[in-house]
A and B are shown apart, each in its own frame.
Chain A
């Protein structure tokens, strides 16, 4: 596999200003603070974390919708700037969380889907119209839907339209910013399976932003866990769910509601709130909430270290922590398990139909 996207030390700091006329800077919000990751061709990297941890900011930085304070983004070996940005705009597309806000209500669906092609000067009016019909078919809608307006569609259908728009210019990487979080569970399964299908057919790579571990479990090849603007652990999906090494990853996994009442009280949920990214804690940012905190954690910031093949962890004591009880498959909440079953059932139906 070749590397498609390489992000190094990506940083976004927002100055906090006070005063009306002579504003002076009183602080800095470190929304994203030195994030590095890479995505191979055809791979799905999921970024998970609590709200406010900087996942969506990371997505927007990769898309260059906001200018990074520091760090580099290399797409297909080329650093993104000036002329390369134009290519990036075609080869990287985005699917947003809110299917109601991500489509222009005044444009017909056909025009919305054709627009990226127009912007990049691809094809003639006729060939674009034909491509719109083809794209609508790809995402499971009908050609006549091109004449309709977004308000005539349900949330799931709108998300399909958003996906069709992203596919229009044949991108290689699609950034999915919580693409199913706003949808009903049954619709989530359809959209997630659609994304997987498209990936298989076109060899797409995904940067998948999510907070829902059931969806991540289904979609991702690798997972990066973010906390307060930094990646604390990154590993292949199996490793994250079976052998999480960072205390925060473990806490996230144990926070999945458990169906076994005998386990009640055995899992201690994380106390406290996420500290403000304006004054992040010294040393390890997780030390204020970590159950295994030591003196060293408060003084020294841990670096990401490779502790298993493909698994990098930013914790001083990752090796010596007590082993984590596997909570993977059977540890899923009944709801999550049900959803995974739904996904599997939908897939089986499709396979049956194809045969």
Chain B
């Protein structure tokens, strides 16, 4: 044995979840996000009525004992429609974020790793960034016809350049680290280097951005549905529900207000969670 262990070992740092829960706003938003996701997943079991069943004897009922959140213009139970609408809204957001995220991250990593195509890929991202998401939605709905698919494609396309930029800049920082040079000096192949050394170290900023972007995507998706480009009747979707209720806004405001509040709460929860996650994943907080 050459030398003995004399140096002091640093204590283990607190986990990300623990740091996250230190902040009350973060704890509340995390709880809300979990509840919202659970509510969407368990909608068929939680909903008191079928979301498409109409009760023509109870049209536009304000919230009461029988219909907890009232009924809409066709006498459908608002609570059931909210639960099922949440499903569509969240699925739309998750799908578009997933597709756009995977493509965007791949594009960003490719630009950072293979510097020869960096200029090409980033100018492509610039072009994509110069169109507003709503415009994409209009264009794609015009091509494929309005529907959930059109919204998912439009939002995915709008997410790609943003993700590509975040992934590229994060990857450039990581690629400058000595452990990447060490990996290269060992003769490691590109695939292994990207998978084992680049990706894990880029995960935090991308995760934070994805959380924040999820809120934005839901808002945009609801906006597109509100404009009639997304979910088509009779599908329940929060944005579409808010749109359907707007003609009755003066005498039955709950039909529009309840889905609108739903969108607001979901988006706010994801935004607060994203901010808190950014703070919690900051390595400087790990003492």
Q: How far is the CA of A346 from the CA of B192 in the complex (A)?
A: 41
Task: Evaluate whether A138 and B5 lie within 8 angstroms (CB atoms) in the complex, with A101-B178, A105-B201 already known.
Answer: no
The answer to whether B64 has its CB under 8 Å from any CB of chain A is no
A156 to B9 alpha-carbon distance, docked (Å) = 11
Pick from B4, B179, B185: contact of A104, CB below 8 A. Answer: B179
Expressed in whole angstroms, the Cα–Cα distance for A154 and B192 within the complex equals 28
Q: Which of A97, A101, A139, A148 is the most central at the interface, judged by chain B CB atoms within 10 Å of its CB?
A: A101
CB distance from B198 to the nearest CB of A (A): 10
Whether B3 and A193, one on each chain, are in contact in the complex, defined by CB atoms closer than 8 angstroms, is yes
Question: Which B residues are within 8 Å of any A CB, using their own CB?
Answer: 1-5, 7-10, 12-13, 177-179, 181-189, 192, 196-197, 200-201, 286
Pairwise interchain contact B184-A101, C-beta atoms closer than 8 A: no
Which A residues lie within 8 Å of B183 (CB)?
Answer: 104, 115
CB-defined contacts of B9 to chain A, threshold 8 Å? 148, 152-154, 157
Chain A interface bracket (under 10, 10 to 19, 20 to 34, 35 or more): 35 or more
For A95-115 the 0/1 string (1 means CB < 8 A from B) is 011100111111100000001
Closest 7 CB pairs of A and B: A89-B187, A102-B178, A140-B3, A106-B200, A101-B178, A96-B178, A154-B7
Provide 27 A-B residue pairs closer than 8 Å at the C-beta atoms, listed in order of the A residue: A89-B186, A90-B187, A92-B185, A93-B185, A96-B182, A97-B178, A101-B179, A102-B179, A103-B179, A104-B196, A106-B200, A107-B200, A119-B187, A119-B192, A120-B187, A138-B2, A141-B5, A151-B13, A152-B10, A153-B10, A157-B5, A157-B7, A162-B182, A169-B186, A193-B3, A194-B3, A197-B2
Instruction: Name the residue on A nearest B199 (C-beta).
Output: A106
In the bound complex, do residue B185 and residue A119 qualify as a contact, i.e. CB atoms below 8 Å apart? no
Given A89-B185, A119-B188, are A104 and B197 neighbors across the interface (CB < 8 Å)?
A: yes
The reply to whether the CB of A228 lies closer than 8 angstroms to some CB of chain B is no
How far does the alpha carbon of A63 sit from the alpha carbon of B187 in the complex, in Å? 10
Smallest Cβ distance from B230 to chain A, in angstroms?
39
State whether the Cβ of A185 lies closer than 8 Å to any Cβ in chain B.
Answer: no
Residue of A nearest to B186 (CB): A116
In the complex the two chains form, is B179's CB within 8 Å of A142's CB?
no
What residues of chain B lie closer than 8 Å to A141, measured between beta carbons?
Answer: 5
Closest to A112 in B: B179
Is A165 engaged at the interface, CB distance under 8 Å to the other chain? Answer: yes
B10 touches A107 (CB 8 A): no
| Consensus secondary structure, chain B interface | loop
Least Cβ distance of B53 to chain A in Å? Answer: 51
**Pairwise interchain contact B7-A156, C-beta atoms closer than 8 A:** yes
Interface presence of A190 (CB below 8 A): yes
- Any B CB within 8 A of the CB of A94: yes
Among B13, B184, B192, which residue has its beta carbon within 8 angstroms of that of A65? B184
Q: Does A86 contact B (CB under 8 A)?
A: yes
Give the CA-CA distance A138 to B5 in the complex, in Å: 12
Q: How far is the CB of A141 from chain B (nearest CB, A)?
A: 6
Residues of B contacting A153 in the complex (Cβ-Cβ under 8 angstroms):
7, 9-10
Q: Are B2 and A165 in contact (CB under 8 A)?
A: no
Complexed CA–CA distance, A193 and B182 (Å): 23
CB of B172, distance to nearest CB on chain A (Å): 15
A187 to B8, CA, bound (A): 12
Binary CB contact string for chain A from 108 to 152 against chain B (1 if under 8 A, 0 otherwise):
000000011001100000000000000001111110000010011
Distance of B96 from chain A, by nearest CB (Å): 28
Whether A65 pairs with B179 at a CB distance below 8 angstroms is: no
Bound form: Cα–Cα A197–B5 in Å: 16
CA distance A126 to B6 in the complex (A): 29
Pair A154/B10 contact, Cβ less than 8 Å: yes
A350 at the interface (CB under 8 A from B): yes
A104/B2 in contact, CB under 8 A: no
CB-CB under 8 A from A190, the residues of chain B are: 3
Kindly list chain B residues whose C-beta atoms are within 8 Å of the C-beta of A98.
178
Q: Which residue of the partner chain B has the closest CB to A154?
A: B7
A120 to B12 CA separation, bound complex (whole angstroms): 33
Contact indicator B2/A140 (Cβ below 8 Å): yes
